[in-house]
Structure 1
Amino acid sequence: MRTILSAFVLLCLLLTCVVLLPGHSLAQSLRQDPVDQQNPIGGAVPGDTLGVNSQSDYWRAVREGVNGNVSIPDKKAGTLIQSEGEAWRSLRNGPLSLYASWALLGTIVILGLFYAIRGRIRIEAGPSDKTITRFREVERLGHWMLAVSFVILGLTGLNILYGRYVLKPLIGDGAFGFITQMGKYLHNYLAFAFMAGLVMILVMWVKHNLPDRTDIKWLLQGGGMFSSKLHPPAKKFNAGQKILFWLVIVGGVSLSISGWALMFPFTTHFFAGTFGKINMILGTELPTALTVLQEQQLNSLWHSIMAVFMICVIFGHIYIGSIGMERAFDAMGSGEVDLNWAKEHHSLWVEENQDDIHDAPGSGSAPQPAE
């Protein structure tokens, strides 16, 4: 019996050593390495990945937009983070929207003040009983195609920039969503009408808008805009109209190119090519290794800037053609303008087109009684 009891005690001691001593060692190890309490295998993750042992250089490269490898056809998906997108959004919704609104409102205020001070520019000699053909049908067609498409493009573009802040609270989410979607379709398809009108007026009027010596005198006298007694001579287009023409052509081409790049994304590299030419001419160091996403962001910003600039320019054109100058709208309305108006604003052109002078409608002399 004593032998059996001794063997039992010895077995208990052996079991105690097997169970407690390894547990004691493991507990001591866990107390010495707090990280291993959460991950007993030391932070390693199956598959040879970094796990919790991340490297700052690796994530810094990801943040800077390093392009990784992907198995799908769209290689742009290899860019996990595109930091320029954050900068683009901040610039578009911040300074761009703010300064654009100032420019638009400022232009309207300046035109209003000019009208309050100068008033409407009248025909000094009064209306005539004769008219002269100012623009023919095809010329008016090109002008109105360009004008109507630009107005719709401008309104739908401004809705994209400001609609969620101005229009959406007034009409609600549903109506705003519908209007914006229809506006997107109009903006995309009417862009081609705008480009067609741009080509038409360029072909028809470019020869009349080349600078000449008469433009200097017109500019020195302010085109008669500030005094009713000054009417400098001008041909078919005066210096002010020539400036407007080239602003419309250059600005319209710029809008068309950037708009084309936005309608067909990731297919153009206009900014990289433009920056390369500027570097070659001016010796600058503008970036030329632009990704397709960076190209689209620059296209979007430039398109918005040029659109707001062109809207401000056209505000002035609409003002002069409507309330700013008497009988000016007739030029693009019926195509026939009052002869006295034409002599005061385009005297040299009238001298060259005497055959286009007609009796004004309803101005015929009353029949004389027979003697």
Structure 2
Amino acid sequence: MRCHARIRCFIIVALAILMMIAGNPALAQTLGPDGAPNPTASKMNEQQLLQQSPRIEGDIDQPIERARVLIQPAGRAWDYFHQVTLRWIGAIAILGMIAALAAAYFIMGRLRISAGRSGKKISRFNSFERFAHWLTAVSFVILGLTGLNITFGRITLLPLIGPEAFSSMSQIAKYLHNYLSASFVIGLVLIIALWIRDNIPRKVDVDWVRQGGGFIKSKHAPAGRFNAGEKLVFWFALGAGAAVTVSGVLLLFPFYVTDIAGMQIAQVVHAVVAVLFVAVIIAHIYIGTLGMEGAFEAMATGEVDLNWAKEHHDLWLEQQLNKEPLAARSGPSSVPAE
């Protein structure tokens, strides 16, 4: 009797389950014959499917190891970083730097030569040094703009110019970014070789910082060929340049050295360092052009006004004058750049 009672109970429960499934087609679709989730169902919870491990595990006959990866959960974190986190980092760093420089300009104005122009010139950078600088600078500007297009182009340019124009522009930008990276690396290596000796930190740099870097008009900030601020930019450019170069090579030649996870790390490093690099160089460009009178001439013509050199690089000027007396005339000086 007990056996018959158990059989009747089982039949009743089975019929109840069948009636529930028949009344809920979505549930019937999501469950397979063995009661496990059906991965081909039109309505399937992804998390529910992933929880079926080891049922979803298996083998694949694919000779290329990286092609065997069908699902990589870390890719979701990388995608969120690229689509959300990186945009916030870039916007805060770049727009924050622009806002800070704009505030400095409206508060302090342009840093003028306090004694006025003397009309006498002294050579600061020779032609080869200027070539190395401009090779690096032009390459960096193009790399920066084309790289920012990858991060911000979809939310800024795409709505303005449309998908076809944006697609064509992005294709050109990709080629420029890939190929001009070589000229940037060459220029960076030349700059390091030319100026690393003059950018070694010295005691005078501490004094420069204490005197406010020359931005406090009542105080004089002594400096050699490069002041402490320029040295900070130099060493930052060296470190950031090395980081974007190494990570960029890994991205240009995918899977030769690392796997998918390593590629994602390389892209994160490349992107974060690049946006910080852009923010720092914006400040460098501002000081060398709009922020300081006479500074741009050093890289435009290679010569600077004598009074400008006295105010901003007095120790370097003294060394140059001790080598050979300055010609007492306006125009190019006979004093060679160090």
| Alignment TM-score > 0.5, same fold | yes
CA distance in 2, matches of 1:328, 1:216: 22
- The residue that corresponds to 2:120 in the other structure is 130
The number of residue pairs the alignment matches comes to 300
- The residue that corresponds to 1:114 in the other structure is 104
1:166/1:312 CA distance change after superposition, 3 Å: same
Give how far 1:362 is off. Answer: 9.3
Q: Secondary structure at the match of 1:132?
A: strand
* 1:148-297 equivalences in 2 (<5 Å): 148-225=138-215, 227-269=216-258, 292-297=259-264
- The residue that corresponds to 1:279 in the other structure is none
CA distance in 1, matches of 2:315, 2:221: 10
In the alignment, structure 1 residue 360 sits paired with structure 2 residue 327: no
CA distance in 2, matches of 1:32, 1:117: 79
Q: Which amino acid aligns with 1:251?
A: A
Give how far 1:76 is off. Answer: 1.7
More RCO (CA 8 Å, sep 6+): 2
Give how far 1:266 is off. Answer: 1.2
Give how far 1:91 is off. Answer: 1.8
In the alignment, structure 1 residue 305 sits paired with structure 2 residue 272: yes
In the alignment, structure 1 residue 317 sits paired with structure 2 residue 299: no
Q: Secondary structure at the match of 1:353?
A: helix
Give how far 1:32 is off. Answer: 8.7
Give how far 1:299 is off. Answer: 1.2
Q: Which amino acid aligns with 1:52?
A: D
- The residue that corresponds to 1:339 in the other structure is 306
Q: Secondary structure at the match of 2:196?
A: helix
Q: Which amino acid aligns with 2:240?
A: G
1:138/1:179 CA distance change after superposition, 3 Å: same
In the alignment, structure 1 residue 326 sits paired with structure 2 residue 293: yes
1:59/1:115 CA distance change after superposition, 3 Å: closer
1:59/1:172 CA distance change after superposition, 3 Å: closer
Task: Choose which of 31, 34, 39 in structure 2 pairs with 1:52.
Answer: 34
Query: After superposition, what is the alpha-carbon deviation per residue over 1:296-338, rounded to whole angstroms, capped at 9, x for unaligned?
Result: 1111111111011001100110110111000100000000100
> After TM superposition, what 4+ stretches of structure 1 lie above 4 angstroms from structure 2?
30-33, 55-59
- The residue that corresponds to 1:78 in the other structure is 68
Q: Secondary structure at the match of 1:337?
A: strand
CA distance in 2, matches of 1:298, 1:138: 37
Q: Which deviates more, 184-193 or 350-359?
A: 350-359
CA distance in 2, matches of 1:57, 1:233: 68
Give how far 1:125 is off. Answer: 1.2
The two structures, once aligned, show a CA RMSD in angstroms of 2.7
Q: Secondary structure at the match of 2:309?
A: helix
Task: Choose which of 127, 134, 139 in structure 2 pairs with 1:144.
Answer: 134
Give how far 1:59 is off. Answer: 4.4
The percentage of aligned residue pairs carrying the same residue is 43
CA distance in 2, matches of 1:306, 1:109: 20
Q: Secondary structure at the match of 1:234?
A: coil
5+ long unaligned stretches in structure 1 = 1-26, 39-49, 270-291, 364-371
- The residue that corresponds to 1:99 in the other structure is 89
1:34/1:191 CA distance change after superposition, 3 Å: same
- Greater Rg by CA: 1
CA distance in 2, matches of 1:325, 1:133: 18
CA distance in 2, matches of 1:75, 1:151: 38
Query: After superposition, what is the alpha-carbon deviation per residue over 1:227-261, rounded to whole angstroms, capped at 9, x for unaligned?
Result: 22323211100111101100000011101111111
5+ long unaligned stretches in structure 2 = 1-10, 23-31, 38-46, 334-338
CA distance in 2, matches of 1:33, 1:308: 58
CA distance in 1, matches of 2:64, 2:325: 62
Check the 8 A contact 1:223/1:232 in 2, yes or no: yes
CA distance in 2, matches of 1:61, 1:259: 38
Q: Secondary structure at the match of 2:122?
A: strand
Check the 8 A contact 1:330/1:336 in 2, yes or no: yes
Q: Which amino acid aligns with 1:100?
A: G
Check the 8 A contact 1:67/1:79 in 2, yes or no: no
- The residue that corresponds to 1:88 in the other structure is 78
Please report the TM-score for the alignment, with normalisation by the length of structure 1: 0.75
